[in-house]
Structure 1
Amino acid sequence: MVAPLQLTGLFLYPVKSLGGYAVPEAEVTPRGLRHDRRWLLVDERNRFMTQRQHPELALLAVAPAYNGFLISHRQRPELLPLFIPFEATPDRTLFVTLWDDILWAWRGAPEADDWLAEALGRPCRLVYMSDMVRRDVEPALNPEGQLVSFADGYPFLLLGEAALADLNTRLAQPVPMNRFRPNLVFGGGAAYEDDKWEQFRIGDLPFRAVRGCGRCVLTTIDQETARRSPTSDPLRTLATYRQAENSTLFGQNVTGPDHGRLRVGDALTVLSYK
């Protein structure tokens, strides 16, 4: 008997491409989960930094704190944890580049830039996305005019436990869920059944599965050590059976409501299929 569908995990990543953490409940905003990927690291040219080019970002762990979060280095205990508030102040602004978007952002504190530069061994700046910044989900697939934070392209990423379990049966070394950085994890149902979903509900909140999530080299980086897989797994194995739309797909890019609250344990109900 197949278990009923339900939300089994909620994850926040306050800084794009740094570590994340699980929460028992989360507020939904017009850009996704509140506090998710509202901060971003940029280089000396104000271009976004991710683990794709800088795998050492995986060594920066993030933990919740009162009205903000703490960043610590997994391998350098002599660096005292850095506190970052959930929101910046509009004291200083600059333009940053994220993929093809040029956006203005608020600067973080200079001492945060110094700490991060020391931790990473290179100059960088920490910037924040204000509510006044408008960054739209790709227009061709966005009739609702949905917004997105500094996430790659969509406000939510959904992944099923059964899909990960199936992938791990194909790998010599199983990988944890954090390789795929989902916001929403669901249990129950069959592996990859979300490929066919369109409209669904979590609790009483409506969501839409827009398209499969194309995967990249980031999935090959161990989030504890920042080492890349010598076999290019799990991406190599995924590519043998999850190729579509000129991408290797795993999980769903999702849009949702502009307000509400999600809790681990909420029922998930599929309303329509593609």
Structure 2
Amino acid sequence: MPSLLSSINVSTIALSTAVVCALSGVAVYAIHKAYRKRRQFMKVANVCKLIIYPIKSLPGIEVNRLEVTTNGTKYGPFRDRSWLLVDKENRMITQRTEGCSKLALLSLQFKDNMLWITAPDLPTLKLKVKTEVDDEVIQTNVWGDPMEGVYCGLEAEEFFAQYLNKTGTKLIQHIPKQSVRDGYIEVNNAKVIRNAKYPIIYQDKSGLLVINQSSVDDLNSRLPTDALKTSYRNFRPNILISECDAFDEDNWQWVSIRDV
């Protein structure tokens, strides 16, 4: 039997431009791998939550709709994981970075067409979405892929440098015309390869992540009674689904939600 954590499947879905309605209970349809030759979709689950993560490795924001684009999800002008923190040497910062797990404790909200970020004892940082290159372009690297982003200013730099106690921490934003990375897809039910048809920006491997609440519940049921329980938030999905069996998503070849 595989380890419990490796058994949790955060499924990836190939992207096309469309809108996922955020209303709770929207049906999820799938083609089971066993019946993929029939190309017949059947109802398998319901959408429970939609979440977008404007800044990589910061908390997500629950929303009532998501637009699915060719390289990730979008809510109004805000694109998923389109902001990125880098250190003084322009290396990517995530919660995995030493001393940066506290990024998970920040509070984010959309307000006045801006992204507001709050932290104890710091003034609220208010970010507008950049639509063009209006400052220095920072060169960085995301999991081995050269990437770039536009510097978001001294106010953002001071906010995150103080919060993380790391001098030189900068925030950058990806602009749509800047370079993208090849996404990852699964082939032959196991092998994962890069594919330029599904581009991503600062995401780890896929532009859209889905997780099954029943799979998370199953994991928690197997943990020792005194163990800290996990949550869907630990897996940072864009779409949380419910009303299906644990790990049933492992059997889905294709997934459809509304027009996506």
TM-score by length of 1: 0.68
Q: CA RMSD in A?
A: 1.8
In structure 2, the CA distance between the partners of 1:189 and 1:144, relative to structure 1 (3 Å rule), is farther
Q: Note the residue ranges of structure 2 that are not aligned, 5 or more in a row.
A: 1-42, 186-191
Give the share of equivalent positions with the same residue, in percent. Answer: 29
- What is the letter of the counterpart of residue 14 of structure 1? P
Equivalent residue number for residue 258 of structure 2: 203
Residues 88, 107 of structure 1: 8 Å contact kept = no
Letter in 1 for 2:222: R
Matches within 5 A, 1:189-268: 189-205=244-260
Of 170, 173, 186, which residue of structure 2 is paired with 1:125?
170
Helix, strand or coil at the partner of 2:214: helix
1:62 is the counterpart of 2:112: no
Q: Does 1:83 align with 2:129?
A: no
Structure 2 contact 118–125 (Cα < 8 Å) conserved: yes
Q: Once the 2 structures are TM-superposed, how far is the Cα of residue 21 of structure 1 from its aligned partner?
A: 1.2
1:184 aligns with 2:229: no
Query: Does structure 1 conserve the Cα–Cα contact (< 8 Å) formed by 2:183 and 2:196?
Result: no
Give, in angstroms, the shift of residue 87 of structure 1: 3.0
Asked if the contact 2:139–2:146 (Cα under 8 Å) also holds between the matched residues in 1, the reply is yes
Please report how far the alpha carbon of residue 89 of structure 1 lies from its aligned counterpart in structure 2 after TM superposition: 4.2
Mapped to 1, the partners of 2:154 and 2:131 lie a distance apart of 12
- Tell me how far 1:18 sits from its aligned partner: 0.8
The residue that corresponds to 2:17 in the other structure is none
Q: Indicate conservation of the 8 Å contact 1:88/1:106, yes or no.
A: no
1:27 matched residue in structure 2: 67
Q: Kindly tell me: are residues 120 and 89 of structure 1, through their superposed partners in 2, closer, same or farther at Cα, counting changes over 3 Å?
A: farther
Secondary structure at the counterpart of residue 169 of structure 1: helix
Amino acid aligned to 2:117: I
- 1:118-157 deviation line (CA, Å, top 9, x unaligned): 1111120100111112222148635561111211111011
User: Residues 33-58 of structure 1, C-alpha deviation per residue, up to 9 Å, x if partnerless?
Assistant: 11110000000111100111221211
Which contiguous aligned blocks of 4+ residues in structure 1 show a shift greater than 2 angstroms?
A: 86-89, 138-144, 171-176
Aligned equivalents of 2:202 and 2:112: distance in 1? Answer: 23
**What is the TM-score normalised by the length of structure 2?**
0.72
Do the aligned residues in 2 keep the contact of 1:134 with 1:147 (CA within 8 Å)? yes
The match for 1:261 is none
Q: Is this contact kept in 2: 1:88–1:128, CA < 8 A? A: no
Larger strand percent: 2
Shift of 1:59: 2.3
Aligned length: 200
Matched position secondary structure for 2:200: coil
Aligned to 1:41: 85
Q: 1:166 aligns to what?
A: 218
